[in-house]
């Protein structure tokens, strides 16, 4: 199976419509009806897209809580599902905004596809497309999902992130008000690349060790550790660029702690064999015991302040996009955004697109 994860996105329909509840897709030998659950300006969100996003959220809930019971996973997924229509509309609004701004992400799409190719040890992008198709994956749909995510990320970076970046005075103010937060025992903040051997045959382990060795060499050659972790690590931390977090002495297994605490900022361990695979750790920061100077924790504070600002700033930005947009949602689906949308009037099932205009 291809080892790639694509984030949830609201795919854009190619239909330009007014108000409708169903569309007809003309097949080679039949006509297939497709429910429309929302309209966002001149694009639509269909029931099948909603169902796929719902299934993706359930899979995400299961991945995030691997020790949970099925009932706990279902409860977590249900909580996430409450805002699913809102999130799909938001995603589509950001994609539309990217197009309005003339943003191009074509080069980045190719780079992301090439990352997936490397991750799966596939020789060429043409072979990647063939591999996807052989597994029933629509290659063009996957490209669209990658493209749309890149569109959204770039809009958020340009339109929001550039305006909320903390300045030196904000960092100093936070530090002065939270000094006790930065009194620490000796500790390291680390990230990992983990190559798993669980469930693998003994004969496969040398190849897995070789893979870990090659990744370490790529780090030493200057490639970004976080991006390599995201592409190749088998740990759940790959979604966070491999970040494991902060560890004081005594919190890590000794076989990891001993080499890690010898390192300075940005240095990496050798490949460390452990019971379940091969581990490579990078020290992002090494804190000596005592009060940490502001210079030592500046990046940490920047991240805290950025996260505090991003969520409300993004919501405000999306609300403004909604005010300038035409949005309809079909009952019983609910858009939980603060800016109300209009309900799509029911149209008899089986009505042709032309009848809905």
Would you kindly state where each structural domain of the chain is located, as residue ranges?
A: 22-164+308-356, 186-288
167: helix, coil or strand? coil
Provide the pLDDT confidence category of residue 323 given band limits of 50, 70 and 90. Answer: very high
Label residue 85 by pLDDT band (50, 70, 90): very high
Q: Decide if 25 contacts 32 (C-beta within 8 A).
A: yes
The residue that leads in pLDDT, 167 or 34, is: 167
Q: What are the structure tokens assigned to 285, written together?
A: 């920061």
Let me know if domain 186-288 sits in CATH 3.30.70.520. Answer: no
Q: What is the mean pLDDT of residues 290-302?
A: 91
CB neighbours (10 Å) of residue 298?
15
pLDDT tens for each residue of 205-260: 999 999 999 999 999 999 999 999 999 999 888 888 999 988 999 999 999 999 99
| Structure tokens that stand for 230 in this block | 């995201």
Give 210-278 as a 3 state SS string: HHHHHHHHHHHCCCCHHHHHHHHCCCHHHHHCCEEEEEECCCCCHHHHHHHCCCCCCCECCCEEECCEE
Phi and psi for 209 in degrees, rounded to 5?
-65, -40
- The answer to whether 231 and 219 have CB atoms below 8 angstroms apart is no
pLDDT for res 120: 77
Write down the pLDDT at residue 174. 97
Range with lowest mean pLDDT among 3-12, 43-52, 190-199: 3-12
Q: Percent of the chain, pLDDT > 70?
A: 85
Give pTM, 2 decimals.
0.66
Phi/psi for 335 (5° steps) reads: -95, 115
Say what the pLDDT of residue 2 is: 55
CB 6 within 8 A of CB 115: no
Q: Could you read off the pLDDT of 106-159 as tens digits, one per residue?
A: 999 998 898 888 777 788 999 999 999 999 989 999 999 999 999 999 999 999
pLDDT of residue 319: 94
pLDDT of amino acid 20: 40
CATH code for the part of the protein at 22-164+308-356 = 1.10.4030.10
pLDDT value, residue 10? 32
For residue 206, the surrounding DSSP H or E stretch is helix 205-220
Do 87 and 73 form a contact (C-beta atoms < 8 A)? no
Instruction: Decide which of 24 and 130 is more confident.
Output: 130
pLDDT tens-place string over residues 326-357: 999 999 999 999 766 666 554 334 333 333 33
Evaluate if residue 63 carries a pLDDT over 60: yes
Residue 57 predicted with pLDDT over 60: yes
Write down the mean pLDDT value for the chain: 85
Between 337 and 26, name the one with better pLDDT. 337
pLDDT of 125: 92
pLDDT at 71 over 70: yes
pLDDT, greater one: 242 or 19: 242
């Amino acid at each position: 199976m291809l080892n790639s994860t694509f984030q949830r996105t609201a795919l854009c329909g190619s239909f330009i419509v007014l108000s409708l509840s169903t569309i007809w897709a003309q097949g080679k030998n039949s006509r297939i009806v497709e429910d429309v659950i929302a309209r966002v300006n001149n694009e639509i969100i269909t029931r099948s897209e909603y169902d796929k996003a719902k299934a993706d959220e359930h899979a995400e809930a299961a991945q995030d809580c691997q020790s949970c019971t099925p009932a706990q996973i279902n409860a977590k997924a249900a909580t996430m599902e409450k805002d699913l229509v809102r999130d799909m509309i938001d995603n589509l609004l950001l994609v539309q905004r990217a197009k309005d701004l003339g943003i191009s992400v074509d080069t980045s799409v190719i780079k992301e596809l090439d990352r997936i190719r490397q991750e799966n040890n596939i020789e060429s992008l043409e072979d990647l497309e063939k591999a996807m198709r052989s597994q029933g994956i629509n290659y063009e749909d996957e490209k669209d999902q990658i493209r749309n995510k890149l569109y959204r990320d770039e809009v958020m970076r340009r339109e929001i992130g550039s305006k909320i970046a903390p300045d030196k005075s904000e960092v100093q103010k936070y530090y002065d008000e939270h000094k006790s937060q930065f009194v620490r025992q000796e500790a390291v903040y680390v990230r990992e690349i983990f190559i798993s051997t669980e469930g693998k045959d003994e004969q496969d382990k040398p190849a897995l060790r070789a893979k870990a060795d090659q990744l370490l060499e790529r780090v030493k050659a200057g490639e970004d550790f976080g991006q390599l972790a995201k592409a190749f690590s088998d740990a759940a931390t790959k979604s966070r660029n491999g970040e494991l977090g902060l560890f004081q002495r005594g919190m890590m297994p000794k076989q990891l702690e001993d080499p890690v605490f010898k390192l300075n900022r940005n240095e990496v361990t050798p490949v460390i064999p452990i019971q379940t695979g091969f581990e490579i750790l990078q020290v992002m920061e090494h804190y000596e015991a005592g009060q940490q100077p502001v210079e030592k924790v500046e990046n940490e504070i920047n991240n805290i302040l950025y996260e505090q600002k991003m969520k409300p700033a993004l919501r405000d930005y999306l609300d403004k996009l909604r005010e300038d947009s035409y949005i309809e949602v079909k009952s019983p689906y609910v858009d939980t955004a603060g800016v109300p949308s209009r309900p799509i009037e029911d149209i008899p099932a089986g009505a042709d697109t032309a009848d809905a205009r």
